[in-house]
Structure 1
Amino acid sequence: MALFKRRTVGKPGEWFYCLEHKKVEEGPECPAKNRFGPYGTRAEAERAMETARERNLEWETDPKWHDGPGAGGSSGGGTAA
């Protein structure tokens, strides 16, 4: 008997965006590594890629992520993935 049972059916109202199939799913149909979510509504899941682009732009322009050598941060200029 498996210690952890894989959940194949999502809860009603949980929406995901599958990165592999580029489609919205109610409940997790694809593996977690291939999806964004959960989202509260289908509309939010449909905007997943746009939301990710907006957040990436915010992080790229956030001065906390671009500390210079004299600002007390690392001189490696870390990246947020």
Structure 2
Amino acid sequence: MALFKKRAAGRPGEWYYCLEHGTVEEGPQCPAKNRLGPYPSRQEAENAMNTAAERNQSWENDPRWHDKGEGGEGDDGGKGPAAA
């Protein structure tokens, strides 16, 4: 038993999606590394995985997150800023 076990305290009405258990919880019950949120409603927490998938897809297709290609701006051949 830990001498000083700190329990995360949530605010009333905060909802989380637990990645480990695949469940929705009101207030943080599982460790932060295992949850998404907070969400303002239970329904939004239930849709957390869909929301994350949509955001990942959006970011994957965002040209600002990819190199321009051969000879283009932002292409340093993977050598980083020191190669310029």
TM norm. shorter chain > 0.5: yes
Q: For this pair of structures, how many residues does the alignment match? A: 74
Q: 2:3 aligned with 1:7, yes or no?
A: no
The two structures have a TM-score, normalised by structure 1, of 0.79
> How many angstroms apart in 2 are the aligned matches of 1:65 and 1:41?
31
Shift of 1:37: 0.3
Unpaired runs of 5+ residues, structure 2, are 79-84
Query: Contact 1:67–1:75 (CA<8 Å) still a contact in 2?
Result: no
> How many angstroms apart in 2 are the aligned matches of 1:10 and 1:33?
15
Distance 1:74 1:53, change over 3 A: farther
Distance 1:74 1:45, change over 3 A: farther
Report the RMSD for the aligned CA atoms in angstroms. Answer: 2.0
The two structures have a TM-score, normalised by structure 2, of 0.76
> How many angstroms apart in 1 are the aligned matches of 2:67 and 2:45?
33
Query: Contact 1:59–1:65 (CA<8 Å) still a contact in 2?
Result: yes
> How many angstroms apart in 2 are the aligned matches of 1:18 and 1:29?
9
Shift of 1:9: 4.1
Shift of 1:20: 0.1
Distance 1:43 1:74, change over 3 A: farther
Alignment deviations for residues 22-63 of structure 1 (CA, whole Å, 9 cap, x no partner) = 000000000000000000010110000000000000010000
Shift of 1:68: 2.0
Match for residue 79 of structure 1? none
> How many angstroms apart in 2 are the aligned matches of 1:36 and 1:42?
12
Unpaired runs of 5+ residues, structure 1, are 77-81
> How many angstroms apart in 1 are the aligned matches of 2:52 and 2:9?
25
